[in-house]
Amino acid sequence: MKAEERRRAIAKTLTAEHPVSATALAGQFSVSRQIIVGDIALLRAAGLDIVATPRGYKLGETTGLLRAVACVHSAQETETELLAMVDNGCTVIDVVVDHPLYGQMTGQLSLASRYDVRQFVEKAKHAAPLSSLTDGVHIHNLRCPSEEAYQRVCEDLKQLGILYTQGGTL
């Protein structure tokens, strides 16, 4: 299979619902993982919206409302925070912190279900979250099915003491 054919096949393999790891793609196309990483870079450069998640690559989603929510909490409250978001039907796209030295830093998440959250929390046991760099203050970009879903997330986070304002939690 030629490189261009492989890239077309990779693009067809990726969906918005199911991430595919570079290792799985490498096995499927009998090439190295590094070749796949390069193919993904070329597909992105060609305009394809490919998102890297903790579980692999997938196409970016195009439906729903994009909203942001500012949060502050300890590492132990991460699961509670993320569940409040996915339980209200929102997808947690990423986490953003404003680091005093490096500026804005973003970590891709793509968490849409309790299963996704459990897997993320399990991986987080072996690494510090980005919010640890900013005393727990961070922003999540969300994809919400409706404005009402977003408002429910905000209300739940407020009740949990996680919603952040300039002076602290609301």
Q: Is 140 marked within a binding site?
A: yes
Q: Is 81 annotated as a binding residue?
A: yes
- Four-residue CA torsion sign, 34, 35, 37, 42: positive
18 is in an annotated binding site: no
- 131 DSSP assignment: G
Q: Determine if residue 99 is labeled as part of a ligand binding site.
A: no
User: 3-state class of 121 per DSSP?
Assistant: helix
Q: Look-up: residue for tokens 């804005």? A: 104
CA separation for the pair 169, 106 (Å, rounded): 22
Q: For residue 149, what are the CA distances in angstroms to 3, 14, 110, 143?
A: 43, 27, 17, 10
d(CA 121, CA 86): 14
Binding residues: 73, 81, 138, 140
Known binding-site residues for Ni(2+) equal 73, 81, 138, 140
